Amino acid sequence: MRGKSIRSAEALVEEQLGKWRLAGTVRKKEKTKAGPVITVSRESGCGGTKIAQRLAKELGFDLMGGKIIQMVAESVEMSEKVICSLDEKEVTKRDDWLTSLFESRHLWPDQYLHHLTKVIGTIGRHGNAVILGRGANYILPQENTFRVRIIGPFDQRLKNATRNTEEEARRYLIKVDADREAFIRKYFNADVKDPAHYDLVLNMRVVSIDGAVRAVIAAFNSWKR
Q: Could you tell me the residue ranges of all domains in the chain? A: 2-224
Task: Count the neighbouring beta carbons within 10 Å of the beta carbon of residue 39.
Answer: 28
CA distance linking residue 196 with residue 113, whole number of Å: 23
Spatial CA neighbour of 217 closest among 7, 35, 59: 59
CA 142 to chain centre: 14
Per-residue confidence (pLDDT) for residue 145, from 0 to 100: 93
d(CA 58, CA 213): 9
**DSSP one-letter string for 53-99:** HHHHHHHTPEEE-HHHHHHHHH-HHHHHHHHTTS-HHHHHHHHHHHH
Reported pTM = 0.82
Class of domain 2-224: alpha beta
pLDDT given at position 197: 94
What are the residues whose beta carbons fall under 8 Å from the beta carbon of 123, sequence distance 6 or more? 37, 62, 64, 69, 82, 129, 131, 136
pLDDT of residue 25: 66
What is the pLDDT tens value at each position of the chain, 225 positions in all?
A: 445 555 676 777 777 777 777 776 666 666 667 789 999 999 999 999 999 999 999 999 989 876 777 777 777 677 777 777 777 777 887 778 777 777 777 666 677 788 888 888 888 888 899 999 889 999 898 888 999 999 999 988 888 887 678 888 889 899 999 999 998 998 888 999 999 999 999 999 999 999 999 999 999 999 976
Please, what's the b/e burial string for 47-72 (b: 16 or more CB within 10 A of its CB; e: otherwise)? bbbebbbbbbeebebbbbbbebbbbb
Give the pLDDT confidence score for residue 32 in this predicted structure: 64
Beta bridge partners of 64: 131
Spatial distance between the Cα atoms of 190 and 67, rounded to a whole number of angstroms? 21
DSSP-derived letter for residue 132 is: E
Query: What would you report as the CA-atom Rg of the chain, rounded to the nearest whole angstrom?
Result: 18
Q: Residue 1: what pLDDT?
A: 47
Cα atoms in the Cβ-side hemisphere of radius 13 Å centred on 152: 24
**Nearest in space to 115 (alpha carbons), one of 148, 69, 172:** 69
